Amino acid sequence: MIRSGILVLICWFVAGCAQQPSCPADSAVPIDQPTAFNASIVYPGTSDYEKRVATFKISANQASDLVPPYVGDRSPACVIGDWYLFTKPYKYKRIDLAGTYVNGHTGQVEERESGLSLIGDNSMMGMFKPFPEDMPVCLAEARPYR
């Protein structure tokens, strides 16, 4: 009984990790455009992030130099559309959309407020999935954090 339960959990975990959701919109949609809710999100440490950043004129290091000194975390939390997002870091799978944005093509810096967050699976099973395995891939998946 216990073995079959463990086997089911392992199969569920492996099947869940193998599925990579995709954003229905073009990955290069700027977040300030009317279709911004479809802007795709990529996370540092992933091949999608490396591919996206390679198309930018401004590197992640250059973008961090443009961020005001009062911003605590000097590395991008993610890239949304064409924008690096610098925001408060958390110990768990959460990225607030309020923060400092740097455009990867122009270097334009904007402070943006938002009541939304990108939230991964913080359940017991989600703790075993590596970041950013279960994080949202589209801005439309952002949700209010309580």
And the tokens for 12? 């569920």
The one-letter amino acid code at 143 reads R
Q: Which tens digit of pLDDT belongs to each residue from 21-71?
A: 455 544 444 444 433 567 889 999 999 999 999 999 999 999 999 998 777
Q: What is the residue extent of each domain of the chain? A: 2-144
Please list the alpha-helical segments (H only) found in the chain. Answer: 2-18, 47-54, 60-66
Give the gyration radius of the chain's Cα atoms: 17
Spatial separation of the C-alpha atoms in residues 60 and 96, rounded to whole Å: 19
Closest CA to 118 of 100, 101, 90, 93: 93
pLDDT digits (tens, 9 = 90+) for 80-136: 999 999 988 777 788 888 899 999 999 999 999 988 888 887 665 556 666 677 788
Q: How many CB atoms lie within 10 A of CB 114?
A: 12
